[in-house]
Amino acid sequence: MLRPILVACALALSACGQAATTEPPAVAPPRHTPAAAPLVSAPDLCPMPDSGFECELQRRIKAVQEYAETRPGSVGIVLRDRESGAMWRNGNAGDLTWTASTIKLAIAVNLLERHRAGKIRLSNEDRRLMTAMLHSSDADATDTLWRRYGGTTFNASFANYGMTELVAQKGYSATFPYWGFEKCTTNDLDRLINHVLDTVPAEDRAYLVGQMREVGPEQQWGVWGPDSGAKNGWAEEDSGWVVNSVGFVGPAERYTLAIMNDLKGQGGYDEGRATSTEITRLLFR
């Protein structure tokens, strides 16, 4: 009788062991799982994804847009990357604005062009006047060159340098056209500086670039700065102060920047100078 009982107990213990080692049923997943943290959208990372500019510069351009809207008057801006071909202009880039002394860069281009073609012969005195005109924005030197080499001839050529919207202003002086009373757009200044860098013969280009890099203290603001060059213009016109800056920034003059600030009586020279300098800083410094 003992053997059957032991066998039965052994079978019972075996069954208990199997029950103890059986895996528990799988726990059903929760009906709702926590949402993943939202990713930063591409427009936030690169606010102008179709512009052709690198992402960091896109963010800087956006900062410039916001800053310009807070400044006195209206501000026209055109930025160009000569290496990639990308270009950005703001909504005021097509506004006709007094050129002030930025037109002196176009005058120098014309004098060099006519000299190279044998149409005029620039003397040492002429070249001294050109340097004064570019280095310290000397108005008397510009007047002398304008009279000596024919103001009408200058104006007839400016469109060839990209200044297709430039208009000489009548009724402001006995001489017409006169370099001191001209209006153009920021787009015109953008095309002018790119004509200088891309089309002007190498020797003349080197002269102009060198002059723009080494301007006097009167013009050491706006686009001018480390690894940069500029031709600036400022004047108090009938509509108020106008403060402009056009030039290049970076190795091999990679970027060009044109800024025209028509303050429209809402500020003066100091505000205009601060605006163009800060725009350049936001973009490049």
* Residue 33 pLDDT greater than 50, yes or no: no
State whether residue 48 is helix, strand or coil: coil
Per-residue pLDDT band for 44 (boundaries 50, 70, 90) equals low
CB 269 within 8 A of CB 78: no
Q: Average pLDDT of 161-189?
A: 97
For the whole model, what pTM was predicted? Answer: 0.84
Phi/psi for 87 (5° steps) reads -145, 140
pLDDT single digits (tens) 59-108: 999 999 999 999 999 999 999 999 999 999 999 999 999 999 999 999 99
Phi/psi for 200 (5° steps) reads -60, 135
pLDDT single digits (tens) 120-172: 999 999 999 999 999 999 999 999 999 999 999 999 999 999 999 999 999 99
Note the helical H segments in the chain: 2-21, 42-45, 55-68, 103-116, 124-135, 139-149, 151-158, 186-198, 202-213, 269-284
Phi/psi for 239 (5° steps) reads -95, 5
DSSP structure string for 79-94? EEETTT--EEE-TTTT
Q: Please give the mean pLDDT across all residues of the chain.
A: 89
Per-residue pLDDT band for 45 (boundaries 50, 70, 90) equals confident
